[in-house]
Structure 1
Amino acid sequence: MRGLDDSTEILIRVGQTAGEQVKHGWNAFLNFAARDNVLEVALGLIIANAFTQVVTSFVSDIVLPVVSLLPFLNRNMDQKFAVLSKGPHYDPHKGYNTVGQARDDGALVLAWGGFIENLLNFMGVSLTLFTVAHLYMLISHNKIIKPTVRCRYCKKYISVEASRCMNCSSWQDGREDPLKLDNDGDDEYEL
């Protein structure tokens, strides 16, 4: 360009190149993000997160308070814990009332009640999803839950209906097995 020195021209060219690269990168991201399967996965994750919150609330707010009424449990499950190592300010007459109080004092705590609560949340979510999948299969006649077996050769799981393994591409009916001679001298496939 006339009237500009070499360093200014170089800066302008670098700026144009950088702008083109940013525009190219943005277009590539839009092409990736706007595909159908990416949007389906994003929607599935959002719905799964909301679903998990509902089941967690059900377990924490409805199931566990009822379980806490059992005679040997005198408080909520998330506050059941065992002190493995006492903190520096431990009072043997009072002890620790909550997990947070024990942890703030520096005690080593085994919070088994919180673990049981998380385990119940997991079981609730997984059983509910399994039930929803079965209901969907009954209504739509589409198979979501597909039975599997192990491949005879590579031992990886494949569909029961598969005639060839998708991992090692071997036939599942034994047609690739080497021939062996029977006691009668007849050729027979090994099973």
Structure 2
Amino acid sequence: MWNEFKTFIMRGNVLDLAIGIVIGAAFGKIVSSLVADVLLPPIGLLAGRMDFSNLFITLSGQSYPTLAAAKAAGAPTLNYGIFLNTLIDFLIISFAVFLVVKAANAVRRKEADKPAAPAEPTTSEKLLMEMRDLMKSMAEKESAIPLSPEKKLTSPQQELLHS
């Protein structure tokens, strides 16, 4: 059972999947930082110094200055600002994945469009080519010797010479 498990784990697909998950998690953190630390602050500034992470509604009806203060008081909240951050994260990640898949498909398409290498001649074809070349060289040697009028080439011999 242990050997089967090792074989399963060491298969290429499982390793590729594990690597993809690790890289995806790291990429997700990068995108989250990009959204929270780079994109949303200027948008919040344009929207009147709004901090998206502090957009929330308290369900208890009381007012709190920040989400942290509401959570410290134990107030139930709807954190739609955090949801907006997560939604923007998702859109950026899905667009990045789209670009990667599009690039991979373009590479596959380019490889598929390449003409296939010509098939190597079969053994029979090679033998026939050797016979043709040998007969051609013999005919060339014979044509170098002047033929007497009684030794004229027949029509099949002439065709062989010109092929």
What is the Cα deviation at residue 118 of structure 1?
0.4
The structure 1 residue matched to 2:44, chosen from 64, 68, 71, is 68
The structure 2 residue matched to 1:130, chosen from 98, 101, 105, is 98
* Aligned equivalent of 2:66: 98
* Aligned equivalent of 1:35: 11
- Check 1:121–1:141 CA distance in 2 against 1; reply closer, same or farther (3 A cut): same
The structure 2 residue matched to 1:120, chosen from 75, 79, 88, is 88
* Aligned equivalent of 1:185: none
* Aligned equivalent of 1:84: 59
The CA distance in 2 between the partners of 1:57 and 1:141, in whole Å, is 35
% identical aligned pairs: 33
The CA distance in 2 between the partners of 1:136 and 1:28, in whole Å, is 32
The structure whose residues are more often strand, as a share, is: 1
The CA distance in 1 between the partners of 2:20 and 2:65, in whole Å, is 41
Larger Rg: 2
The CA distance in 1 between the partners of 2:41 and 2:20, in whole Å, is 31
Number of residue-to-residue matches in the alignment: 111
The CA distance in 1 between the partners of 2:25 and 2:103, in whole Å, is 20
**Deviation larger for 105-114 or 118-127:** 105-114
**RMSD after superposition:** 2.1
Structure 1 ranges of 4+ moved more than 4 A = none
3-state SS of paired residue (1:85): coil
* Larger RCO (alpha carbons 8 Å, 6+ apart): 2
Specify the code of the residue in structure 2 equivalent to 1:77.
Answer: F
